[in-house]
Structure 1
């Protein structure tokens, strides 16, 4: 019995092969057949002549775990054909949480629309809360090193062994592996040896490692070397997160090409490692990343309070050459305030604009934002003009780069609607397809689809995902290719993306005729052995 029959679509099946015309049948959660069967009938039949059918898009680098509790219907992403997201990246997950840190986590999540309390502590408990309430899209999870380290620090036992125990528990709960973010927060303090110890735990489970590496500027080569030391320590499959260099921040000539060459050599040696790239020259960042460790050592509230004092501000000005290093050289015009719970009236403005409005310079404008944030300091986010467009295109087109948006699912109303005023969140996935594939030819459409579907599923071990083939899960998108090509993805849309006319997750429609159905058929996807 066929439940849904899609007739006469132009199919790009995710393999990288050219499109072909076929009928596709869905039965329950699975694709029942792919071919031409004029005699088939179904309760729901869709005339797809002239439309493009692809697998549901899979984001290899998402932060939707920050916002999913405030946006279970994943409005900005499912409207773009996203059916699965790999979350828990860059080391930042809100589990495990030690006793006493519940309010810090609650306040951070409230900035992304969550209105509940934080009553979980373990990673397994967080997964139960998220998936117990349903999600529109499938989610596959990393556990964050920052979460592991902060929980271990609060428990005051042996740091590394406590982190290992928490990682073991997360892996047993179904985590893909662990991620790190080594430019900010607790990740800054991590020694390579502790990451190697965690890698050995992950390796015993056949798990993965994903890393926002320690430096993508003047010390890129050293950061890449550290990444592979960790990978080799556990014999891990790995993802080198957003392997790029920020424009005009001190990276040596040819440093990125050398890093990519190292990636290629490791692949040839047998290491299952890939990288990913974001769609725009712009990207999100944590405001706390600019702050020195001596200021943050006593916690967010203490750091915010300290920045009310002029002598502390002067000291921080002189000790700011980290993370977005172009700020240290005065390029504040490249930075917008994206999320600031204490000063929402400044969100969306550049720091020169905030400074002009308040009669200060840019550094004092930044310090004013941080001082006002108090215990919410960790929730303050930037949107920055980070990369040169030709650098983005070069990475997007490279064979070893998957295509990740590095954002989070958003919506047009409520807190999230007020705090994500950039096309990244509403057009990012379509930008890969419409801009990079259809308009500029950075890569072919079938290659772009492959790098957003089957290639991701294979690398992360997501069984029966990412292909339009018989027996696969029916994560599917039916596109209006004209809208995909003609939509201006550089501007904020007035409504949700419209090119994905129909979207199915596990055989259930989440978008029909361009309208959200509000079904929540998403599953939690666990790690499988891909060897």
Structure 2
């Protein structure tokens, strides 16, 4: 027998949660064929992993790399961290399905993430084809949700009341996406069209999911004073249909009015529902910081006639005064004046301010933070929905508590970036370049929030099993050959709270579907990733 690749002499952490052991990994084609010590078999390539840790390729349970993949097919910032699969299409925001009316907004939003072409697809399946079967493929595997916000907008629905015809269109578009391989439907209920939807609408669409074995993932309606009601709504949608479900980034933002035991009560409910037989988990982000949509702070009355009209109305000082007074939602600490917690991340109309905090923008412009924020949105015009923020959202203690909880997968809630082009300017935060290795460097090796085997399990097999991604997440004979080789000594020395100089270090080798993509820390330009439909 001859093998294509042998990863020899490493310490294996196999994704199951079991402790580390010494073994060689034998790969033939796109499969792992042997995991055992002393694998003395000829191979086309032998990777010396002596002193290194070998794990399954990491799987991000909550990614937005569908936003950036058309401008970053090589997944530069994430593949170099050992991430071989990303669950995308989260928080209700996907750029399919689209219509002739909504495609221009999709094109403008994607341009901010480096896509220089048209949004000339219409269905979810056509977008998947564009990403995976046309244009050169991807470096990483992607498994996709379809976004509820996209379904709503493609159906022409706005406001809380939808017509029978609009609901039928949403059902049809959702069924089409599921038939094209979508994992299920995601919702984003704190902003945009999702914020306007009623529970009955979500439940109706959940019936379509149930009929086709689809999942339900939700950025719930509130994560502060109304967290309990938001969690109740989540289970009112998932429970009657017995849906496999994911509570996206179940966390509580600091100083936003949440009850002191709000998060604990939500987690107790999560545990109770799981004990009662519902296949439900949650995920957490690695940093106290996170991304958000600027439009989430805006009142519904301003957005009722669309983004372009909202931006135009912000030229009226009276409208601005009303918006300031009616902003106690989403990132509610902004309403309390804590602008020092907010950076401008993505702003197509004012890129010169990207990466700056709002106090710094205000200082440079001689205006207060609210006026600067509204200036950004007014300048954005129809691209207003593309404006993104990075906020200091959580305490370090809260992050650690969630990271260590047994029902939480470990996601990043970012997107794959790169050090050149439009994405470089719009991702000047370690979240995008070190989010995954931060779990390992900070939470495992430095702080000891959890052990290495447990962390790898939460980043591999736990995710694959829950999302129905067969044959991935474990290093075992017969599995797909997605492999990451970690240099834990390098990771232990890293300061992952700072933006790295270039790409993250500490993962010298990454294999995707049996192809070596990262070799001694360098991306080889190989795009071996695949579209991963849900296995039912």
Q: One fold, TM greater than 0.5?
A: yes
Runs of 4+, deviation exceeding 3 Å? 154-157
1:341 maps to which of 345, 348, 354: 348
Q: Distance in 1 between matches of 2:197 and 2:210?
A: 19
Q: 2:148 matched to 1:145?
A: yes
SS at match of 2:3: coil
Number of the residue aligned with 2:10: 9
Between 147-156 and 411-420, the greater mean CA deviation after superposition = 147-156
Q: 2:298 matched to 1:291?
A: yes
Post-superposition CA distance 1:191-239 (Å, at most 9, x none): 0000000111100111100000000000000000000000013210000
- Change in Cα spacing, 1:335 to 1:38, as seen in structure 2 (3 Å) is closer
Contact 1:200–1:233 (8 Å) recurs in 2: no
Q: Distance in 2 between matches of 1:154 and 1:365?
A: 31
2:138 maps to which of 111, 135, 140: 135
SS at match of 1:473: coil
Number of the residue aligned with 1:258: 265
Contact 2:238–2:245 (8 Å) recurs in 1: yes
Equivalent residues, number: 529
SS at match of 2:23: strand
2:339 maps to which of 298, 321, 332: 332
Q: Distance in 1 between matches of 2:371 and 2:100?
A: 35
Number of the residue aligned with 1:467: 474
Q: 2:453 matched to 1:446?
A: yes
Please report how far the alpha carbon of residue 154 of structure 1 lies from its aligned counterpart in structure 2 after TM superposition.
6.3
Number of the residue aligned with 2:244: 237
Contact 2:157–2:166 (8 Å) recurs in 1: no
Post-superposition CA distance 1:242-272 (Å, at most 9, x none): 0000000000110100000000000100000
1:519 maps to which of 502, 523, 526: 526
How large is the RMSD of aligned CA atoms in angstroms? 1.0
Please report how far the alpha carbon of residue 37 of structure 1 lies from its aligned counterpart in structure 2 after TM superposition.
3.4
Number of the residue aligned with 2:180: 173
SS at match of 2:490: helix
Post-superposition CA distance 1:344-377 (Å, at most 9, x none): 1111111111111111111101010001111111
Number of the residue aligned with 1:478: 485
1:308 maps to which of 302, 315, 318: 315
Contact 2:253–2:394 (8 Å) recurs in 1: yes
Q: Distance in 2 between matches of 1:310 and 1:10?
A: 63
Please report how far the alpha carbon of residue 157 of structure 1 lies from its aligned counterpart in structure 2 after TM superposition.
6.6
Gaps of 5+ in 1: none
SS at match of 2:277: coil
Number of the residue aligned with 1:40: 41
Please report how far the alpha carbon of residue 38 of structure 1 lies from its aligned counterpart in structure 2 after TM superposition.
4.6
TM-score (norm 2): 0.98
Q: 2:54 matched to 1:53?
A: yes
Please report how far the alpha carbon of residue 46 of structure 1 lies from its aligned counterpart in structure 2 after TM superposition.
1.7
Please report how far the alpha carbon of residue 448 of structure 1 lies from its aligned counterpart in structure 2 after TM superposition.
0.2
Number of the residue aligned with 1:219: 226
Contact 1:98–1:154 (8 Å) recurs in 2: no
Between 146-155 and 264-273, the greater mean CA deviation after superposition = 146-155
1:158 maps to which of 161, 165, 171: 165
Q: Distance in 2 between matches of 1:465 and 1:195?
A: 31
Number of the residue aligned with 1:114: 115
Q: Distance in 1 between matches of 2:257 and 2:75?
A: 38
Q: Distance in 1 between matches of 2:330 and 2:101?
A: 29
Please report how far the alpha carbon of residue 297 of structure 1 lies from its aligned counterpart in structure 2 after TM superposition.
1.3
